[in-house]
């Protein structure tokens, strides 16, 4: 089955439906197998999610202090266990804090409850979901974090026995699914921590089984027979962070058994990690969005903590340029409504509990703004299933000492491959003002055709939304190639991925140019901040130039101003806003209503152009994400109305 985009027009809008062509009569199952083979090849050549595969010599970026050799390993690796995140000194600190610190006490009680629930579960089995074993690997990492920390504190024989059974079960898998290396990496870290935190107390047969599995099923598959590095080793996205972190954990665990393999693997990891760390620059923006910040960054901080505990140094990870700045980015991605600013392939909402990865930054900086004390003190029964690195996180949370309370800015810009701006009402804002706007390019890892898009919250309502992400496996199982990012690739037929599903401007009904970069042109700080993005590159030959200016006028409104110069090929320019609110069209604008609140949309520059509403529930394509009440507000301008080729939209969103 092959997918193509078709148009169905009415007076006010263009609808895009995706229908299978009849030119190829291929069963979905066969097509899925072909897609799976393609994706497997792609994952070994370059990281999925569009990561690059540059070697250290091809991209000039700051390097870590890579001292790792066999000799260094033998001389400097801590000889006693535990040594992964924990060591004797840090364990002493954790136990001390358990006597006096209410946050550490509460978190440990939650870990205990999680460990109790884990012991009721059956052993893990090698069951793939689609092409992934990732769910099983993540469950193993979660189980070992919970059980392992309880064992370190209590030395309970029953817990030790359960850890033993967990390790034996996964180490007897035929493999850890190396075709999707994230699965191997998370499983490797889990087994390595299990060995380390039990510190030789597992049966000798289990220890030998685990070390052999770490070598044969974990590390060796990362060294292809052709002598080339896997794409993730020097990639730029979260795969780099997760996979290199997993390989470092495994290498430390087997260092005495095979020091040569351990040394060369850690050395490669330290050389490769900088390519993902560099993506945080210059201001801390994580290009893949907040969800993937949580994923990739959690593995980088665990890796930093492992290296510090095992070698006495993390070789420069914590101090890597802009890495610590990303804590501000993470905080600013949490909006007053409880949602994320969910650009890129990002989830919708955060959990109720505290952010354990952000707490690492609190421990390193002493900044109170990064330590979510109130969330960590939620009653343990309400915390539910914790993050799978929460056992490790208890260690760096024990290291936190408040040294400062640096205020999070109310107007902030983050430049880089996916530039964004944030305007907020500040911590005492009763109306919950939040605006986020962005530039970027679609070919960024997990990127979408969302340049110029924005979200806007006020009075507890998200008025302008980003459609966010949807289940990868469900789409892949339909035989759909989600990961290609060429101009005509299938990814852009999805509403969550293309520009028709975002609050931006579309020209000539066309998709954005996939590799066109919308850059941040100007930024003005202060009580009335402004930001201007240059969107010209995403339109190709359809328009000569285009800029989008966002201006916060006060704590109840946002002004969006688009200026553009048409060409002979320009036919139409459509201003778009995605919303789930009810919309009443009025003269020169619209009234939006949701949750007994109102927002007015004023069409200031072109009051004669009437607003139209395109219903997207149900969505145009059966694989699109279904969102209750989803609709696209449009203001359509024929190109001939742009006098002398110069045109403008000026829209104010405001509440009383």
The pLDDT tens digits for 298-353 are 999 999 999 999 999 999 999 999 999 999 999 999 999 999 999 999 999 998 99
Does pLDDT of 240 surpass 70?
A: yes
For residue 588, is it within any domain? Answer: yes
In this structure, the answer to whether residues 470 and 321 fall within a common structural domain is: no
In this structure, the answer to whether residues 311 and 430 fall within a common structural domain is: no
Does pLDDT of 247 surpass 60?
A: yes
pLDDT for the residue 55: 39
Q: Where are the beta strands (DSSP E) in 566-645?
A: 572-579, 582-586, 589-594, 597-603, 611-615, 631-638
Q: Residue 340 sits in which domain range?
A: 70-398
In this structure, the answer to whether residues 289 and 374 fall within a common structural domain is: yes
Triad 294, 467, 507: Cα angle to 5°: 120
Q: Which residues contact 8 (CB under 8 A, 6 or more apart)?
A: 14, 15, 16, 17
Q: What is the CATH number of the domain that holds 349?
A: 1.50.10.100
pLDDT for the residue 403: 95
In this structure, the answer to whether residues 490 and 391 fall within a common structural domain is: no
For residue 269, is it within any domain? Answer: yes
For residue 90, is it within any domain? Answer: yes
In this structure, the answer to whether residues 445 and 515 fall within a common structural domain is: yes
DSSP 385-419: SPPTTHHHHHHHHHT----B-PPPPSEEEE-SSS-
Predicted confidence band at 21 (pLDDT cuts at 50, 70, 90)?
A: very low
Q: How many domains does the chain have?
A: 2
What mean pLDDT is predicted for residues 354-373?
98
pLDDT for the residue 404: 86
What mean pLDDT is predicted for residues 145-153?
98
For residue 11, is it within any domain? Answer: no
Residue 116: C-alpha distances to residues 110, 147, 354, 457 (Å): 10, 9, 21, 40
In this structure, the answer to whether residues 515 and 375 fall within a common structural domain is: no
Give residue for tokens 């078709």. 6
Instruction: Single out the residue in 347, 366, 398 at which a domain terminates.
Output: 398
For residue 596, is it within any domain? Answer: yes
In this structure, the answer to whether residues 363 and 502 fall within a common structural domain is: no
Per-residue pLDDT of 31-54, as tens digits, reads 333 333 333 333 333 333 333 334
Per-residue pLDDT of 121-146, as tens digits, reads 999 999 999 999 999 999 999 999 99
Q: What is the CATH number of the domain that holds 572?
A: 2.70.98.70
Instruction: Single out the residue in 332, 366, 398 at which a domain terminates.
Output: 398
What mean pLDDT is predicted for residues 601-622?
97
For residue 116, is it within any domain? Answer: yes
Q: Are 495 and 624 in contact (CB under 8 A)?
A: yes
In this structure, the answer to whether residues 283 and 214 fall within a common structural domain is: yes
Does pLDDT of 5 surpass 70?
A: no
Question: Which tokens in the block code for residue 83?
Answer: 């040594």
Per-residue pLDDT of 560-609, as tens digits, reads 999 999 999 999 999 999 999 999 999 999 999 999 999 999 999 999 99
For residue 507, is it within any domain? Answer: yes
In this structure, the answer to whether residues 350 and 475 fall within a common structural domain is: no
In the chain, % of residues over pLDDT 90: 89
Q: Are 163 and 202 in contact (CB under 8 A)?
A: yes
DSSP 98-110: HHH-HHHHHHHHH
pLDDT for the residue 22: 30
Distance CA 64, CA 429 (A): 42
Instruction: Single out the residue in 373, 398, 423 at which a domain terminates.
Output: 398
Per-residue pLDDT of 188-238, as tens digits, reads 999 999 999 999 999 999 999 999 999 999 999 999 999 899 999 999 999
Q: Is 624 exposed, middle or buried (0-12, 13-18, 19+ CB in 10 A)?
A: buried
Predicted confidence band at 427 (pLDDT cuts at 50, 70, 90)?
A: confident
For residue 272, is it within any domain? Answer: yes
Does pLDDT of 405 surpass 90?
A: no
Q: What is the mean pLDDT of the chain?
A: 92
In this structure, the answer to whether residues 370 and 414 fall within a common structural domain is: no
pLDDT for the residue 38: 37
Per-residue pLDDT of 66-98, as tens digits, reads 999 999 999 999 999 999 999 999 999 999 999
In the chain, % of residues over pLDDT 70: 91
pTM across the whole model: 0.90
In this structure, the answer to whether residues 445 and 510 fall within a common structural domain is: yes
In this structure, the answer to whether residues 459 and 379 fall within a common structural domain is: no
Residue 345: C-alpha distances to residues 55, 64, 469 (Å): 26, 29, 5
Is the N-terminal amide bond of 188 cis, ω within 30° of 0? no
Predicted confidence band at 530 (pLDDT cuts at 50, 70, 90)?
A: very high
What mean pLDDT is predicted for residues 478-490?
96
């Amino acid at each position: 089955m092959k997918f193509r985009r078709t148009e169905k027009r009415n007076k006010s809008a263009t609808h895009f439906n995706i229908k299978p062509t009849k030119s190829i009569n291929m069963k979905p199952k066969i097509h899925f197998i072909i897609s799976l083979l393609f994706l497997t090849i792609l994952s070994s050549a370059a990281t999925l999610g569009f990561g690059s595969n540059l070697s250290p010599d091809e991209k000039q970026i700051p390097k870590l202090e890579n001292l790792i050799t066999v000799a260094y390993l033998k001389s400097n690796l801590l000889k006693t266990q535990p040594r992964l995140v924990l060591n004797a000194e840090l364990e002493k600190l954790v136990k001390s804090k358990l006597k006096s610190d209410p946050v550490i006490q509460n978190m440990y009680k939650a870990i205990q409850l999680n460990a109790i629930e884990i012991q009721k579960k059956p052993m893990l089995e090698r069951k793939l979901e689609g092409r992934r074993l990732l769910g099983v690997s993540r469950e193993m990492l979660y189980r070992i974090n919970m059980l392992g920390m309880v064992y370190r504190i209590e030395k309970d024989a029953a817990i030790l026995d359960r850890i033993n059974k967990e390790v034996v079960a996964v180490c007897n898998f035929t493999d850890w699914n190396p075709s999707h290396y994230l699965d191997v990496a998370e499983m490797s870290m889990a087994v390595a921590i299990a060995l380390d935190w039990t510190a030789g107390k597992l049966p000798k047969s289990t220890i030998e089984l685990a070390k052999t599995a770490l070598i044969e099923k974990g590390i060796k598959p990362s060294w292809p027979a052709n002598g080339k590095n896997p794409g993730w080793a020097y990639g730029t996205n979260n795969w780099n962070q997760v996979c290199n972190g997993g390989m470092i954990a495994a290498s430390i665990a087997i260092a005495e058994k095979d020091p040569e393999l351990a040394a060369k693997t850690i050395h490669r990891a330290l050389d490769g990690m900088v390519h993902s760390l560099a993506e945080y620059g210059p201001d801390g923006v994580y290009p893949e969005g907040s969800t993937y910040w949580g994923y990739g960054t959690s593995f980088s901080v665990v890796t930093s903590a492992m290296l510090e505990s095992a070698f006495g140094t993390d070789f420069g990870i914590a101090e890597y340029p802009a890495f610590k700045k990303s804590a501000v980015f993470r905080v600013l991605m949490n909006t007053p409504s409880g949602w994320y600013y969910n650009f890129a392939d990002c989830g919708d909402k955060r959990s109720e509990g505290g952010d354990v990865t952000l707490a690492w930054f609190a421990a390193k900086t002493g900044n109170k703004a990064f330590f979510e004390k109130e969330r960590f003190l939620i009653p343990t029964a309400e915390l539910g299933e914790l993050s799978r690195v929460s056992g490790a996180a208890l260690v760096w949370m024990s290291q936190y000492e408040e040294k400062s309370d640096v205020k999070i800015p109310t107007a902030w810009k983050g430049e880089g491959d996916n530039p964004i701006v944030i305007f907020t009402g500040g911590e005492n804002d009763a109306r919950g003002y939040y605006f986020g706007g962005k530039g970027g390019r679609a070919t960024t890892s997990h990127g979408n055709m969302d340049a110029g898009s924005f979200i806007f919250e006020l009075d507890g309502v998200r008025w302008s939304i980003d459609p966010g992400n949807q289940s990868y496996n469900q789409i892949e199982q339909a035989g759909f190639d989600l990961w290609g990012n060429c101009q005509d690739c299938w990814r852009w037929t999805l509403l969550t991925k293309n520009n028709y599903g975002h609050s931006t401007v579309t020209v000539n009904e066309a998709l954005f140019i996939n590799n066109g970069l919308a850059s941040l042109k100007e930024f003005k700080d202060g009580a009335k901040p402004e930001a201007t993005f240059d969107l010209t590159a995403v339109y190709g030959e359809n328009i000569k130039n285009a800029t989008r200016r966002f201006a916060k006028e006060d704590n109840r409104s946002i002004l969006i101003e688009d200026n553009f110069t048409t060409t002979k090929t320009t036919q139409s320019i459509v201003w778009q806003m995605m919303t789930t609110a009810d919309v009443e069209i009025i003269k020169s604008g619209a009234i939006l209503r949701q949750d007994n609140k109102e927002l007015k949309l004023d069409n200031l520059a072109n009051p004669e152009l009437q607003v139209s509403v395109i219903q997207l529930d149900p969505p145009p394509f059966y694989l699109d994400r279904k969102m209750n009440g989803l609709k696209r507000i449009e203001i359509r301008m024929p190109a001939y109305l742009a006098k002398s080729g110069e045109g403008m939209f000026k829209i104010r969103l405001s509440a009383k």
